[in-house]
Amino acid sequence: MAIIRRSQWGAPATSPAAYIGSTRGVKVHYLGTAYASRPHEQCAAYVRQIRASHLANKKEGYVDVAYNYLVCEHGATFEGRGVHKRTGANGTLALNLQDYAVCALLGSSGLTKPSDAMLHGIRDAIEELREHGRAGTWVGGHRDGHATTCPGDPLYDWVQRGAPRPAAEEPAEPKPAPSPKPPVKSVVDLSRLVAAAKADPPKRGTPVSYYGVKTVESALVAEGLLAREVADGHFGTATVRAYAAWQRRCGYKGPAADGIPGAESLKKLAARRGFTTTH
Ligand SMILES: [Zn+2]
Ligand SMILES: [Zn+2]
C-alpha cells in the first residue's frame, strides 16, 4: 500500500518537528476516544482534524500532528511527521526520543478492533520507519513505560506478538475431484444392427443409420479385424467382411460366417469389448 504523503492529505510537505537520527523502535497508539467506522473518503479529513486539534493544543505546544504516521481502518497509511522527525506522542521527551509513534484510527469505543488492512498499514509505517528513518527493531505500545491504556487491548495484543503482517487469507479447502462416473456401457440392439448390416451401403459422410454400428465397429477395430478409417458408423462391405472374420474366429463356417451379426457372436464380442447387447 502506497503511503499517503503529507502534501496529498493537505499538510505542509515537510514537518517542522525536530530532527531525530534514529530510535530504539516504534510505539503504536490508538485514538483513545470514541471513533466510528466511516467511509475511506472521510479519512483524510479526519487526519487533518487530528492535526488541527494538536496544533490547537496550547499545553503540549505541538508544532505539527504528534504522530509519525496515522493508519485508517482501510489500511491507508498517512504520513504524519514522517521519518527522522521526533514524535510528540509518547508522553515525555525521553520517550519521544526513544521511539517513533504510529497511530491507528481506532477508538476506545465504536471502532475498537483493527482490521487486517489496518494492521498491514501499521506494518507499512513500521517498515518505512525502519528502512528510511533508522528505527530499531523494538516495537511496543504507548502503554509500555507510560501510564495509559493506549493502544487498547486488541491492538496491543498484536503489537506484543511483534506486529506481524496478517497472514494471507487461507485458500479455501480444495474441493475433492468428483469421483469419475462409471462409464456407461453401450447397448447394441441386435435387430437394429442386423437391419443396418443388411441395408447400409458404404455411404461414408451420410447420417449414421444406427449408433450401435459404431460400437460394433470399434470392437472390430480393437480386435484387429477392421481398419480404423472405415469404422465410419455404416455397416458397409468392409464392416461385413470384418464381422465375418469375427464369426470365423468364433468357430462359425460357411454361410454361418456371412458377416451379418448373430446373437452368439455379438454377445462374445460384447463381452470382450465392454458393451452389452439386446434384441
Ligand atoms: Zn497513545
Ligand atoms: Zn480510510
Q: What is the pLDDT of residues 139-158, one digit of tens each?
A: 999 999 999 999 999 999 99
Q: Is 107 exposed, middle or buried (0-12, 13-18, 19+ CB in 10 A)?
A: middle
pTM of the model: 0.62
pLDDT > 90: what percent of the chain? 66
Residue 63: CA count within 13 A, CB half-sphere: 10
CA of residue 7 to ligand 1 center, whole Å: 24
Residue 79 has pLDDT above 90, yes or no: yes
DSSP of 147-180, one letter per residue? S--TT-HHHHHHHHTT-PPPPPPPPPPPPPPPPP
* 171 pLDDT tier (thresholds 50, 70, 90): low
Q: Domains of the chain by range and CATH?
A: 3-160 (3.40.80.10), 187-278 (1.10.101)
Residue pointed to by grid coordinates 479447502: 173
Ligand 1 geometric centre to CA of 100 (Å) = 11
pLDDT digits (tens, 9 = 90+) for 211-236: 888 898 999 999 988 888 888 888 88
Mean pLDDT over the full length of the chain: 92
- What average pLDDT does the segment 113-124 reach? 97
Is residue 98 very low, low, confident or very high in pLDDT (cuts 50, 70, 90)? very high
What does each C-alpha distance from 185 to 82, 136, 191, 210, 215 come to in angstroms? 74, 72, 18, 16, 10
Which ligand is the nearest neighbour of the Cα of 103?
A: 1
Ligand nearest to the CA of 104: 1
Say which residues have a Cβ less than 8 Å from residue 90's Cβ, sequence separation at least 6.
27, 96, 98, 99, 101, 142, 146
The burial class, CB within 10 Å (0-12 / 13-18 / 19+), for 2 is exposed
What's the mean pLDDT in 54-74?
96
Mean pLDDT within 34-62: 96
Distance 89 CA to ligand 1 centre (A): 6
State the Cα–Cα distance between residues 247 and 241, nearest whole angstrom.
Answer: 10
Please give the grid coordinates belonging to residue 88: 510528540
In this structure, are residues 109 and 36 in contact, taking their beta carbons and an 8 Å threshold? Answer: no
90-94, 174-178, 267-271, range with the lowest pLDDT: 174-178
Of 230, 90, 60, whose CA–CA distance to 150 is shortest? 90
Range in 107-111, 123-127, 230-234, 252-256 the model is least confident about: 230-234
